[in-house]
Chains A and B, each alone.
Chain A
Amino acid sequence: MNKFDRRGFIKLAGLGGGVVFASSLSRGFGLNALGSVVDYANGKAQNDFYFVQLSDTHWGFAGPKVNPDAEGTLKKAVQAVNSLEVQPDFIVFTGDLTHTTDNVQVRKDRMSQFKDIVGGLKVPTVHFMAGEHDASLDRGDAYQEAFGKLNYTFDHKGVHFVVVDNVSDPGASVGESQLNWLKADLKQQKTDARIVVLTHRPLFDLYPDWDWATKDGTAVIDALMPHKNVTVFYGHIHQENHHMTGHIAHHSAKSLMFPLPAPGSVPKKAPVPWDASAPYKGLGLRSIEAGPKQAKYEIKELNVTGA
């Protein structure tokens, strides 16, 4: 078996003491308690872990033909995460936490309401990032007041996470200043470091006519390119998409408010209408099993009801 088996993990973890993570382990690795992997060759323990990605919750959106449960979907997602037998190490929200509004007070209210709802998550560590709906109309002022920095890094069990802001500029650029910050940060990382980039818009030109691109995304990718183990998780396009730029994998997540059509598949981009015969179709969240030693990420899509 060469893949992390989430179901197996959950089942085994539920057995109590002496639990092991019966994931795929290549030669030279053995099992330790609670998911640790021991590299016998180096004598070092390297923990595998998993985190959950939620995206494009668009709190405040109203459109019964698109999502008649606009006020309930995020709450269901919180319940779905809380019902996971083994809780993730942390949760990331990859932008568009709230739906845009011109009214500054309403924007702040939506952010406050969003925080109240996701405050119900059992997992204590949650990393937020902004989408253009949160941050483009005021260059991130309200967002920073509510959630903190627009771009930052954190480290977890051997993986370096970099949050890149490609939304507070309404023109969808990362900007020179942030690029310099990114380059300085990457300089501190070895070329074989495990790096995960979290961002909102795609960094590559997925479909620029629909704003599915970052104007200076190529410069970001160029900065990442010397690093051998880089994976990007993003949101914005309200559907799964998997793309490679050289050795760098880019994975987009589903929305928790409404799906969007496949890139360029219709003349005008517009939310996919609600399907009463299949409620919540096209919406979802995902778990990501991280195996830092192998620099591999196993994605499992979960639906809103957690089934």
Chain B
Amino acid sequence: MNHKKRILLTGVLLASAVVSGLLTYTRANAVPVERVIHITAKNFQFSPDSITLKKGEPVVFEISSGDRKHGFSLRAFGVRTDVLPGKVSRIRLTPDKTGKFTFSCDVFCGDGHEEMTGTVIVTE
């Protein structure tokens, strides 16, 4: 192999190594796609009031109110937010445990507040 061919081959090998490295880096550092779950709080009910997630799956709850101020609290994962009319409140969560967990309105909103709850089910 003459000198020129050797330089060309070395260049090709180096380039492929760089491309391969970049691909590996990109894969390793890619932001996982979050599943968006829309929740509406209205008339003392959450809709949906039962949400199934997978352990380790990143999700974002987008919660809006259809009437008045509410709260959304998922105590098992230490997250809560106020839910105000005309705004979307977001909670990001990657469940690290399986089971059934209650979420509830934690801002007193009127007659029916006490029963304003729902369930998050996290499976393997």
Task: List A residues at the B interface (Cβ < 8 Å).
Answer: 99-102, 132, 136-137, 167, 170-172, 208-211, 267-270
Per-residue CB contact flags for chain B residues 37-73 toward chain A (1 = under 8 Å, else 0) read 0000000000000000000000000000000010101
Closest residue of B by beta carbon distance from A135: B108
Closest residue of A by beta carbon distance from B68: A102
A-chain residues with CB within 8 Å of residue B117 when the two chains form the complex: 209, 268-269
Asked if B110 contacts A210 (CB within 8 A), the reply is no
A-chain residues with CB within 8 Å of residue B114 when the two chains form the complex: 210-211, 269-270
Q: Tell me whether B124 is interfacial, beta carbon within 8 Å.
A: no
> How many Å lie between the Cα of A64 and that of B113 in the bound state?
20
Chain B stretch 69-121: residues in CB contact (< 8 A) with chain A: 69, 71, 73, 75, 102, 104, 106-111, 113-115, 117, 119
Specify the main secondary structure of chain A where it touches its partner: loop
Specify the main secondary structure of chain B where it touches its partner: mixed
> How many Å lie between the Cα of A208 and that of B102 in the bound state?
10
> How many Å lie between the Cα of A101 and that of B110 in the bound state?
7
7 A-B pairs whose Cβ atoms sit less than 8 Å apart in the complex: A99-B111, A170-B108, A171-B106, A208-B73, A210-B104, A211-B106, A270-B115
Contact of A137 with B104 at beta-carbon distance under 8 Å, contacts A210-B114, A211-B114 already known:
no
Q: How many B residues touch A, CB cutoff 8 Å?
A: 17
Most buried by A among B73, B102, B113, B114: B114
Asked if A136 contacts B108 (CB within 8 A), the reply is yes
| Seed contacts A101-B111, A170-B108, A210-B114; 16 additional CB < 8 Å A-B pairs | A100-B111, A100-B113, A101-B110, A167-B108, A170-B107, A171-B71, A209-B75, A209-B104, A209-B117, A210-B104, A211-B106, A211-B113, A211-B114, A267-B119, A269-B117, A270-B115
Asked if B110 contacts A172 (CB within 8 A), the reply is no
Distance in angstroms from A102 CB to nearest chain B CB is 6
Distance in angstroms from B35 CB to nearest chain A CB is 24
B-chain residues with CB within 8 Å of residue A172 when the two chains form the complex: 106, 108
Distance in angstroms from A299 CB to nearest chain B CB is 26
B-chain residues with CB within 8 Å of residue A269 when the two chains form the complex: 114-115, 117
